[in-house]
Structure 1
Amino acid sequence: MKLRPIAALALLLAALGLSAAPALAQTSPVTPAEAPAEPNAIPLNTGGVDGQSSPETWFNQWGDIFTRNVTVATLTPVLPAPGKANGAAVVVAPGGGLRWLSMNNEGWEVAQALADRGIAAFVLKYRLQPTPTDLAEFERNMNGMFAEGERRPPRPTVDAMSSRPGGPFANPVADAEAAFAMIRARAGEWGVDPERIGMVGFSAGAGTTMATTLAGGAARPVFIAPIYGSMDAVEVPADAPPMFVALAIDDPLFGNRGIGLVESWHRAGKPVELHLYQNGGHGFGLGNEGRTSLGWFDVFMRWLDVNGWLQAKS
């Protein structure tokens, strides 16, 4: 696994309304990338983005590939090998501050790791807020947000309001709901038990996971795993699912903001498990060599197994 780019962290900080240290403004080069074929991506038909005129574009940074200006949400199935599926399924939501998506580190790689364990995975490419079309302008815009090092007004927290029309998670949640509906409609085709569909999200994808859960309705996952997402306390729904949380305490975004999310789940009497790692920073995906957070995915698999979500039904 690769360490995440400083520029990516800066962009995420901006989207969350947080300031960055001056050092974070020093970025590694951002270069254009050809759009991958994505032959298995299925459009979710959830509509466009109001006021969005920039086309979806891809870029490389530090050896990884990202997309931005997504206006057409898609779902990409990554299925287990024949005979290996156990019926469990997971919607995977990459992060990127709602302005871009880390499709490889927090999407396709995670989905493949799940499929290797017999879990049907579905990468959600959800709609994003617009960024400048020109890549150089995009990079200047991103860096300029941190040159002054000033704290910006905070964005709305992840709560039930954030998924309503006009809220920061309105489009991502609508896309997630469409993804759940599609998976359940095609469960037989994909070898999925419709009663065992969970959701895993990273950073802003963790926010999307939480907002989808709090929005309620038929789309609510049966288990959730917000990975290095906001730890702010929330109002827990009566039918909240079990939750697995992984975070590095040296995460510059969320490592020093308490564990209100976990405490609110626990006070509501809902199953919750927290793994707070010594190091790993932000955006570690499946983990980086030499960091204690490298082991979180195996622990997550054990949590799924102990809770009965990996046992295939006869």
Structure 2
Amino acid sequence: MKKILFTVMSAAISFAAVSQETIPLYEGAIPNSKPSQLQEKSEVAGNGRFLISNVTTPTLTVFLPPADKANGTAVIVVPGGGYRFIAAEHEGTAVAKALNEWGVTAFVLKYRLPSDETMTDKTIGPLQDAQRAIQIVREKAKLWQINPKQVGIMGFSAGGHLAGSATVHFDQAFIPNPLKTSLRPDFAILAYPVISFTDEFAHKGSREQLLGKEPAPDKLKFFSLELQVTKHTPPVFLMHARDDKAVKVQNSEVFAEALEKNRVKHDMYLYEKGGHGFGLINTQSDVDWMKYVYQWLFNQDLILKKR
């Protein structure tokens, strides 16, 4: 892996007004769903973070950058929450606004949380929604004035597992795809991601939520993302803290090893301290990890000059 050299950017993020529109992920029937009395719930947790649970109707919220900054690149943002809830603000909305500052069009995904009550097969429900998000963004690229060949995905924690699943399993469509639209992200950014479902490194809460208490071996392998990397996997940037006790840093390390083995472009930034779930700002470090992401995207022409 090459060492990143970054250009110093302003640490301040302007939260100027952005155009926002929330659209349903599916028109008509939602695939792999069944009738349920479950009601979506929003709440502010004790730590002040905004959480959404019991999601049955997935949506995509569009954050358009200022017209004079827009560069045609798009990122689908996938918040984490252990597949139990969605950390919609600090790993969702705040991230979208930061990406807008770079001229990137951002889409925050509110995905279905795995539930036997609401899905026929809960193991593939979130992945269906991630694939559908990629499909929508590509098929409506002209509407949002984005480049359909510059569509990335960014995920945090269990949202990183979902984004990573879409990154390695793009060649198998779990949704109707009549236009044969590519479901392959052009790049992925994974922050303190759940990667492996093996007993050694698994975040067992996320694994149990998605696969149940006694998952089948084939499912464990399918969703252990380090085992699914190929030479066709798109470029990946990884970020993690070495002292993360919730999702072990080895998750990112084994994924990086698999990317290296398959000669997939990638880079990784590891904090010494930071714990888990801090979003954009690690209060235990002076380093802004998003500066590394910016330079990584820029070096690969993934942040394009305005056309």
User: Which bracket does the TM-score occupy, shorter chain normalised?
Assistant: 0.7 to 0.9
2:293 is paired with a residue of what secondary structure? Answer: helix
1:111 and 2:75 are equivalent in the alignment:
no
Q: Distance in 2 between matches of 1:131 and 1:309?
A: 39
Contact 1:64–1:105 at 8 Å: present in 2 too? Answer: yes
Using the size of structure 2 for normalisation, the TM-score is 0.74
Query: Contact 2:40–2:53 at 8 Å: present in 1 too?
Result: yes
CA distances 1:87-123 after superposition (whole Å, capped 9, x unpaired): 1100000001111000001000000000111000000
- Write the distance in 2 (CA, Å) between the matches of 1:211 and 1:268: 17
Change (3 A) 1:256 1:285: closer
1:277 and 2:274 are equivalent in the alignment: no
Matched ranges for 1:89-108 at <5 A: 89-108=74-93
Structure 1 equivalent of residue 245 of structure 2? 252
Contact 1:95 1:205 in 2 (8 A): yes
Aligned to 2:256: 262
- Paired AA for residue 221 in structure 1: P
Change (3 A) 1:221 1:39: closer
Which of 37, 51, 54 in structure 2 is aligned with 1:53? 37
Distance 2:142 2:248 in 1: 41
Task: State the Cα deviation string for residues 179-228 of structure 1 (Å, max 9, x = none).
Answer: 11211122112111000000000011100111112222321100001110
- 1:237 deviation in Å? 2.6
Q: How do residues 1-314 of structure 1 correspond to structure 2 at under 5 angstroms?
A: 40-45=21-26, 46-47=30-31, 49-50=33-34, 52-61=36-45, 62-130=47-115, 169-217=123-171, 218-232=182-196, 233-257=226-250, 259-292=253-286, 294-312=287-305, 314=307
Once the two structures are overlaid, the 10-residue window that deviates more, 225-234 or 118-127, is 225-234
- The alignment partner of 2:21 has SS state of coil
CA contact under 8 A between 2:231 and 2:263: conserved in structure 1?
no
Could you tell me how far 1:234 is from its partner in structure 2?
Answer: 2.1
Deviates more, 1:173-182 or 1:266-275: 173-182
The amino acid across from 1:189 in the alignment is: L
TM-score (norm 1): 0.72
Aligned AA (1:44):
L
5+ residue gaps, structure 1, are: 1-37, 133-164
> Counterpart amino acid of 2:40?
E
For residues 141 and 42 of structure 2, the distance between their equivalents in structure 1, rounded to whole angstroms, comes to 31
The offset of 1:313, in angstroms, is 6.1
Could you tell me how far 1:49 is from its partner in structure 2?
A: 3.9
Amino acid at match of 2:167: T
Q: Which residue of 1 aligns with 2:199?
A: none
- Secondary structure of 1:41 counterpart: strand
Spell out, residue by residue over 1:13-71, the C-alpha distance to the aligned partner (whole angstroms, 9 max, x if none): xxxxxxxxxxxxxxxxxxxxxxxxx9721001134644743100101112221100000
| Alignment coverage as a number of residue pairs | 244
More helix, by proportion: 1
CA distance 1:169–1:114, shift in 2 (3 Å)? farther
Let me know the Cα RMSD of the aligned residues. 2.3
